[in-house]
Structure 1
Amino acid sequence: MSNVKVAGKALGEAQRVAILLHGRGASATSILGLREALALEDFALLAPQAPGNTWYPYSFMAPDASNEPAYSAAIRMLQELVEAVIEQGYSSEQLYFIGFSQGACLALEFTARHARRYGGVAAFTGGLIGEQLRADKYEGDFSGTPVFIGASHQDFHVPLSRIEESVQLLTAMGAVVKTIIAPDTQHIIREKEVDWVNTHILNP
């Protein structure tokens, strides 16, 4: 697993595995800082590093082709990482995805394209990727996977309308989705969001 920073418990010893996905301009090291706030003490933590600190070059709502080939490469990287974890003897229900901003979009997009029962998905300010959402791009059944999306009501990068569309599609695919939409306009992770994820996804 090249270009993946690891922390927490060792694979094979941890009962659960979390894949943490950083935002644009950030790094694997920075997203691992979330372990100070999230209840990840018993997890193996895997944080892949995006080439040039960005998973795809343009907005997650830009025309699909404009984000290629980086977008497909990011999805493929996640698929390989998940396969490597499964080969270690873990089930998908022991696997969690946590992302912020661009990483949140990628977490939602990957799991929707490979829907199954996961341990949980926490998307701090994100939505499904694409100029238009196309249900035919996604397959599988989340089978009750808890999914969290938190954001401001007027985020500069992630419109509330896209979050609402994403919730509708994810719910139709069998996810149990919770949103917390804050009244501010900041592009941040809020304490209220962290508390909900800790209580309902990481320590249900």
Structure 2
Amino acid sequence: MALLPFVDVKPNGPVKAAVVWLHGLGDSGHGFAPIVPELRLPMDAGIRFLFPHAPERPVTVNGGMRMRAWYDIKTMDLSNRADEAGVRESAVAVQQLLDKLISEGLSSEQIVLAGFSQGGVIALHLLARLPYKLAGVMALSTYMCAPDKLAAEATSANKATPVFIGHGSQDPVVPMAAGQQAFHALKNLGFNVSWHDYRMEHSVCAQEVADISSFLQRRLMTMKES
């Protein structure tokens, strides 16, 4: 499998850590790249941001139109929304990118995996199944694929890894209840999840950006002290 292409936003100095951030349906890696300066990270943070592009595929609920998508959506019914085979295929591709960062010299514990909407589905899928420990995971305005298989497939590698779950209380695309379901599924299995909700729709807001910045600084700049 070829490595996923990505938008690469490098820090002004040496790379000390990395964030791999997965976009939502129909977007691309360029969609979230402008958030980096908005995070107002310290100049010496040394955090490299990678924003992969999902492959293009037909999306059933959009009349079979081809667009960038981590998986097909065959129905808007949340219990069957994520095409499980597509989720697993994309999870393999994203793990390949994580593996490459590790092979280039970063520890897995210097990497945060983030995802918005469809991208968050992939991030949560990998959180529970990766064989190595990450610095943190951020799941934004998202839900979980195959929660009924979580207990059987979960590894212990990221049980203690801090997980930031953020959602808009007025989200018309992914109802907040779906994010809460993912939160509780992980919490009930002993994962280290924290819940954050905001008065917004299917998006990010200024307060969430500030909270994300704090999370990244805690996980990637103060790890040796924490």
Change (3 A) 1:25 1:165: same
Query: Is the 2:166–2:197 contact (alpha carbons within 8 Å) kept by the matching residues of 1?
Result: yes
Identify the match of residue 3 of structure 1 among 2, 5, 8.
5
Equivalent residues in 2 for 1:47-196, closer than 5 Å: 47-52=51-56, 53-58=68-73, 61=78, 63=80, 67=83, 69-114=85-130, 116-130=132-146, 132=148, 134-184=150-200, 186-196=201-211
Query: Is the 2:112–2:135 contact (alpha carbons within 8 Å) kept by the matching residues of 1?
Result: yes
Distance, in Å, in 1 between the alignment partners of 2:49 and 2:114 is 10
Query: Is the 1:96–1:121 contact (alpha carbons within 8 Å) kept by the matching residues of 2?
Result: yes
Per the alignment, in what secondary structure is the counterpart of residue 96 of structure 1? strand
- Which residue matches 1:20? 21
- Which residue matches 2:50? 46
Superposed CA offset, 1:44-82 (max 9, x none): 221211112111111594538x72543222011011111
Percent identity of equivalent pairs: 26
| TM-score of the aligned structures, taking structure 1 as reference length | 0.84
Distance, in Å, in 2 between the alignment partners of 1:164 and 1:143 is 18
Deviation at 1:134, TM superposition (A): 3.6
Distance, in Å, in 2 between the alignment partners of 1:158 and 1:30 is 19
**Which has the greater radius of gyration?**
2
Per the alignment, in what secondary structure is the counterpart of residue 47 of structure 1? strand
Q: Which amino acid aligns with 1:22?
A: H
Deviation at 1:159, TM superposition (A): 3.0
The runs of at least 4 aligned residues of structure 1 exceeding 6 Å deviation read none
Q: Which sections of structure 2, spanning at least 5 residues, go unmatched? A: 57-67, 219-226
Q: Which sections of structure 1, spanning at least 5 residues, go unmatched? A: none
Distance, in Å, in 2 between the alignment partners of 1:194 and 1:60 is 29
Identify the match of residue 203 of structure 1 among 193, 211, 217.
217
Q: Which amino acid aligns with 1:63?
A: N
